[in-house]
């Protein structure tokens, strides 16, 4: 396991538009799987929709209309992304977002790490940052939907299934 150290670069702490930071530089690392260079953790809402679509494609998610994705991002309270910057090129390698009532509750959506970068602790990095920001906003209940094969990933982050026997209910158009 690689331990990621994060430190602020061009710190924007305290700027109102981007709650705590714009870019956190994660250490250059070389592991046996891939050369990990210049990976940034970002809270920008300015996400390239085509890159996000490619990232979601890379893990086999069903395509969604970009127009709707754009609206969903615009209405998300927090977006965290992982961007690899090599020379002048950038590449979106991780993403997660949360919607919130800004009082009590928030829900996390679209947690994804590109397969080339999975298993290196980056999913944990992105989730920790999202949870940290939601806690800073004094959100007390954070929910998410987990596919069966990622339940252990979320459990390791402290998520529990159906506390107090509360069961989620769903309504879908038929
Ligand atoms: C799920 C996902 C985001 C995890 O990201 P990642 O960067 O590979 O995960 P990490 O390397 O940070 O793993 C953190 C911990 O969770 C564990 N873990 C990661 N993926 C796991 C999985 N699918 N099942 C069980 N445990 C998992 C790791 O072993 C690690 O454990 P450790 O802290 O004891 O070492 C990533 O695999 C992914 O994008 N999957 C495809 C999309 C997806 O299914 N998203 C979730 C939608 S519900």
From first to last of its 174 residues, the chain has per-residue pLDDT tens of 444 544 433 333 323 333 444 556 565 555 555 566 678 899 999 999 999 999 999 999 999 999 999 999 999 999 999 999 877 888 999 999 999 999 999 999 999 999 999 998 999 999 999 999 999 999 999 999 999 999 999 999 999 998 788 788 889 998
* Residue 94 CB contacts under 8 Å (≥ 6 apart), including other chains: 55, 81, 82, 112, 113, 114, 117, 122, 123, 126
CA–centroid distance, 173 to ligand 1, in Å, is 31
Q: Pick the residue whose CA is nearest to atom 27 on ligand 1.
A: 153
Which residue among 40, 50, 154, 172 is the active-site one? 154
Query: Where exactly are the structural domains of the chain?
Result: 6-159
Topology of the domain comprising 6-159 = Aminopeptidase (3.40.630)
- 156 Cβ closer than 6 Å to some ligand 1 atom: yes
Distance from CA of residue 77 to its chain's centroid?
12
Structural contact between residues 74 and 130, judged by C-beta atoms closer than 8 angstroms: no
Residues facing 24 on adjacent strands? 8, 41
Among protein residues, the one with the nearest Cα to ligand 1's atom 1 is: 150
- Distance separating alpha carbons of residues 80 and 22, to the nearest angstrom: 10
Q: Which of 3, 22, 24, 31 is nearest to 117 (CA)?
A: 31
**Distance between CA atoms of 164 and 6, rounded to whole angstroms?**
36
Ligand 1: nearest atom to the Cα of 1 = 35
What distance in angstroms lies between residue 153's CA and the mean position of ligand 1's atoms?
5
């Amino acid at each position: 396991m690689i331990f990621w150290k994060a430190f602020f670069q061009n710190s924007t702490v305290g700027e109102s538009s981007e709650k705590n930071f714009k870019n956190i530089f994660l250490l250059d690392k070389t592991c046996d799987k891939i050369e990990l260079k210049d990976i940034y953790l970002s809270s920008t809402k300015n996400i390239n929709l085509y890159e996000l679509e490619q990232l979601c494609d890379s893990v086999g998610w069903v395509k969604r209309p970009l127009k709707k994705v754009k609206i969903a991002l615009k209405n998300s309270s927090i977006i965290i992304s992982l961007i690899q910057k090599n020379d002048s090129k950038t590449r979106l390698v991780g993403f997660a977002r949360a919607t919130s009532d800004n009082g009590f509750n928030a829900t996390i959506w679209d947690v994804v790490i590109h397969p080339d970068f999975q298993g290196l602790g980056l999913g944990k990095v992105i989730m920790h940052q999202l949870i940290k920001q939601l806690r800073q906003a004094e959100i007390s209940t954070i929910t998410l939907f987990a596919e069966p094969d990622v339940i252990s990933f979320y459990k390791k982050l402290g998520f529990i299934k159906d506390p107090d026997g509360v069961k989620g209910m769903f309504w879908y158009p038929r």
